[in-house]
Amino acid sequence: MSRSILPARALRGSLRPPSDRSITIRAALLAGIAHGESAIYAPLHSDDTEAALSCLARLGVPIVEHDGALRIRGHGLRGLRAPIQPLFCNASGTTIRLMAGLVAGQRFDTTLDGNEQLRRRPMRRVTEPLQQMGAQIEDTNGCAPLRVHAAQAPLRGIDYTLPIASAQVKSALLLAGLYADSPVVVREPAPTRDHTERLLRGLGVEVTPQPQGEGTRIMLTPPERPLPAFELTVPADFSSAAFFIVAAVLTPGSTVRLTEVGLNPTRTGLLDILNAMGAQFTVEAIGEACGEPIGTVEVRASELRGVEVSGALIPRAIDELPILAVAATQAHGVTVVRNAEELRVKESNRLEGFLAELRKLGARAEPTADGFVVEGPTPLRGATVDGLNDHRVAMSLAVAALVADRQTTLLGAECVAKTYPHFFEDLATLRAEL
Ligand code: S3P
């Protein structure tokens, strides 16, 4: 499906972005192995979260939706049932990698698979350390499908240094650690999103983070008691808010308020970067939801200057680097991003493919070996661009189109449903408030 996007005069109004994808998936998985009925309020409904729920259903976990909450009845750590069919994770990297950790210690066989796009993404980063824990797991030339054989004995604890900063791999090892006979230690080179740790701690599991150099050392002690059922409310997803944060910064005359947004510091690197670029915004903390800080972000149109981004900031902004590239096209000076080679193995190659699409709009943006360089400010021109079946590419191009001189046609716009099914409707609401 293609979408026509006209330049915007200004964006105005208040919006609650959709709920957090990473937290919805983690909460659902934990509810599936807790003891009793958990309630997840304000869950995200999107392609990725539906994939996670369908996998849980195949593991015999009853899930109903009632009064705006997902009600998931877990039967304890050993309550999952052998699936008759492969667990189909569709395009969700978070689902397949976290599920790999969850099923690694089960006493039954499981196959984890996904669509063609997911089958191209690297899985050895998760199968290798799980094998070191004693899991019988095989990948297919480093990718999905993953075949997990019934564990004959408890998994072993591990002290593992992540070669790349990855919250998905860390989370898989922590979930596998629930089935281990001794503690699991994960050392990450830079702090990555810690939603799994926060949720597990909320359920009484001993998970202790400790700063180590630029990164973090996390230790999980396998629990002796069942995980209790829980209730939580999922905050709005900072990564979805990010598109309207940048859209408001770039579109003259804009003022946009984003409410109930998750402000976990492992996720909000974009705010630090925009601050360094000179963007005008305020952040008002309003409290907590499911052990996560939440608040309101209010953004105004602002002049930006180029910035250099690298190191520990990268994992804190990993999913926002495409929209940062869009912001950089309108900034005065050069923006340089380094240490972001992971962008090559996301839903699409977000260094080569995405920047090529952005150049079709007139951007001066080039990939480097481990990041990109964008020169600004550049007047963008409307053109036909392709979302590359990558939600964040499609939404980033849609935001770029708002500051182009004429209409842009975005091909493959439906892929936004991976995390933000109502993206275009929300964009229309912010345009209509003038
Ligand atoms: C995610 C972690 C990140 C991120 C992805 C979601 C998660 O991936 O890019 O969109 O929910 O844990 P990596 O852990 O591979 O860096």
- Burial class of residue 354 (count of CB atoms within 10 Å of its CB; 0-12, 13-18, 19+): buried
Pocket test for ligand 1, best of 23, 168, 267 (most atoms within 8 A of CB): 168
Percent of the chain residues topping a pLDDT of 90: 99
Res. 123 pLDDT band, cuts 50 70 90:
very high
Tell me whether residue 163 is exposed, middle or buried, using C-beta atoms within 10 angstroms of its C-beta: 0 to 12, 13 to 18, 19 or more: exposed
Q: What whole-number distance in Å separates Cα of residue 260 and Cα of residue 19? A: 9
Torsion of CA 91, 95, 96, 99, to 10 degrees: -160
Residues in the chain: 434
Q: Which of 300, 291, 299, 234 is nearest to 261 (CA)?
A: 234
Answer whether residue 93 shows pLDDT above 80.
Answer: yes
pLDDT above 70: residue 317: yes
The pLDDT assigned to 282 comes to 98
Model confidence band, residue 432 (pLDDT cutoffs 50, 70, 90): confident
94 Cβ inside 6 Å of ligand 1 = yes
For 226-243, the pLDDT digits (tens) are 999 999 999 999 999 999
Q: Which domains, and CATH codes, for the chain?
A: 3-18+235-432 (3.65.10.10), 21-223 (3.65.10.10)
Rounded mean pLDDT of the chain? 98
pLDDT digits 0-9 by tens, 198-212: 999 999 999 999 999
Please identify every residue annotated as catalytic: 319
The alpha carbon of 167 and the centre of ligand 1 are apart by a number of angstroms equal to: 6
CA–CA gap between residue 320 and residue 308 (Å, rounded): 15
Question: Residue 433: is its pLDDT beyond 70?
Answer: no
Pocket test for ligand 1, best of 19, 20, 21, 22 (most atoms within 8 A of CB): 22
Task: Find all residues with CB under 8 Å of 246, minimum gap 6, and list them.
Answer: 270, 274, 323, 324, 326, 327, 399
For the Cβ of 168 lying below 6 angstroms from any atom of ligand 1, the answer is yes
233 contacts 20 by C-beta, under 8 angstroms: no
Q: State whether the beta carbon of 316 lies less than 6 angstroms from ligand 1.
A: no
pLDDT in tens, 240-269: 999 999 999 999 999 999 999 999 999 999
pLDDT tens digit string along 35-64? 999 999 999 999 999 999 999 999 999 999
Q: How many Å lie between the centroid of ligand 1 and the Cα of residue 392?
A: 13
Q: Are 178 and 105 in contact (CB under 8 A)?
A: yes
Report whether 267 contacts 237 (CB < 8 A). no
- Does position 434 have pLDDT exceeding 90, yes or no? no
Q: Is the pLDDT of residue 16 over 80?
A: yes
Q: Which ligand 1 atom lies nearest to the CA of residue 125?
A: 15
pLDDT in tens, 343-397: 999 999 999 999 999 999 999 999 999 999 999 999 999 999 999 999 999 999 9
Q: Residue with the nearest Cα to atom 13 of ligand 1?
A: 166
d(CA 317, CA 406): 30
Ligand 1, residue 342: give the atom nearest the CA: 16
The pLDDT of residue 61: 98
pLDDT 10s digits, 23-43 = 999 999 999 999 999 999 999
Query: Rounded to an integer, what distance in angstroms lies between the CA atom of residue 170 and that of residue 101?
Result: 9
Nearest-angstrom CA–CA distance, 394 and 29: 28
- The answer to whether the pTM exceeds 0.95 is yes
Q: Is the CB of 418 under 6 A from ligand 1?
A: no
Decide: helix, strand or coil at residue 157: coil
